[in-house]
Amino acid sequence: MQKDGVNVWRGVPFASPPVGERRFGAPLPPESWQGVRDASAFGPVSHQPPDRKGTRFPEEPPVYDEDCLYLNVWAPSEAESLPVMVWIHGGTFLTGAGSQPLFDGTALALDGNVIVVSVNYRLGPFGFLHLSPLGGTFTSNAGLLDQIAALEWVKDNIAGFGGDPGRVTVFGESAGSISIAALLASPKARGLIAGAILQSGPSQALSPGHGWGITQALLAELGLAPEDAGKLRTLPAETITQAAGTVMQRMTGGAPALFFQPVIDPLTLPEEPVRAAAKGVAQGIPVMIGTNLHEGDYFFREGAPLPEMGQSLRALEQTLGLPDLSGLAAHYPATREGQAGILTDVFFWRGAVAFAESLLEHGPVWMYRFDWVVEAHSLLSRAVHTAEIPYVFGNLSHLRRLGLAISPAMKSLSDTMRGAWAAFAHSGNPDTARLQWPQYSLADRATLIFDEASSVVKDPQPDKRRLLFSLKEAGI
């Protein structure tokens, strides 16, 4: 179908349905079909907790199903050999889909003259249980392998949609960004990525022991011993989802944490992404990476129940796979603002800086920070997690759902960001006529601050950066 000068294909299968005996296995090539396939409707999305507030799908709820491995393509009319931007959605590896209205690729494809592809992947226990120790066809990082299968589909097929398979930029936010760091480190993704944009998600992976502990806890909750794990393929999907939620609540106390995420595994992710990057695994691949100024305020909102500081620290330790963060707490107040600040600084900002610096000897890196706020708004009066996404996609109508009028300054910021993202996809450099963005280096740590008047700042918050990288007693 065509929409506003852009051709759109929805619900294109890039792998076979991962159901029955294929549950918890690596994705297999898609099944062929005869004749013309209808590509006017989005495919089902991965099983996940329900979207009760309508934030992900505000107009019409999707179909949730294990048969979820579909992608969507937006291409300018008469596209020919255009760069491709593959979006990997976030959602703490538990929620989300490439078909969310917020990720509509129309404006980005049209204004940036690029092909936009959004993908689904298996989430939660279906995508990120560490199961390879069980042997057989059980795999670890199934969700990561789904993303690789989508990239392989792009390489093999995107020319038919007007795209250049040699110019594929992956971009993603939160869990999508963490996924991209893992993709750069995965031997199975070699040769599939020409550029990478990581939004609000550092390199992060669980140790094998930590991942296996989570698997054992889930098996126990389901009443299964490891030797009975074959029954995981016959249990109702809802039973597994509910058991995962119970285990998460017990282990994190409801504090923000990444319970399911990539895990170090010999076949799919043999080394922590930050270590692999330092060894040159992403040699020659240009990278953009950044965070938002108040990431943590998205998770610790004014008026919401506040976990006790120790509980929040334990949840963060669970996420990072670290033994002790108590040395860090003394530098932050035991308040909502303090807990939000710890999450912003340790998980998001420090992790992004560490990954950026691990890449420097092997390819160009650009760093940004998103500072834009809307005064007096209940959520966006801070530059919270996810706040940059409408500006990158040019989907400012999403902000109207949050009670905002779209101002000229908002449109200008969106034009600036969308232009930089598209320029990067075209040339591997985000410079545009309206934005000069120097590369990041240890000499000056140049960082582009996206705000009402965007500008480059050298080494923003140097004292805090030095503190975060000197906390040896915290084990980070």
Instruction: Compute CA 269 distance to the chain's CA centroid, rounded to the nearest angstrom.
Output: 17
For residue 319, what are its two tokens?
Answer: 């996420």
Give the closest residue to 384 by CA, choosing from 448, 429, 418, 337: 337
Strands (E), 324-394: 365-370
Strands (E), 42-149: 70-76, 82-88, 115-119
Instruction: Compute CA 221 distance to the chain's CA centroid, rounded to the nearest angstrom.
Output: 28
Name the active-site residue from 89, 130, 385, 398.
385
Q: What is the number of other CB atoms lying within 10 angstroms of the CB of residue 54?
A: 11
For residue 7, what are its two tokens?
Answer: 């051709």
Catalytic status, residue 473: no
Name the active-site residue from 152, 272, 295, 388.
295
235: left (phi over 0), alpha (psi -120 to 50) or beta: beta
Name the active-site residue from 46, 99, 132, 174.
174
Element (H, E) at 23: none
Catalytic status, residue 78: no
Pairing of strands 163-173, 195-199: parallel
Q: What is the number of other CB atoms lying within 10 angstroms of the CB of residue 140?
A: 29
Catalytic status, residue 174: yes
113: left (phi over 0), alpha (psi -120 to 50) or beta: left
Catalytic positions: 174, 295, 385
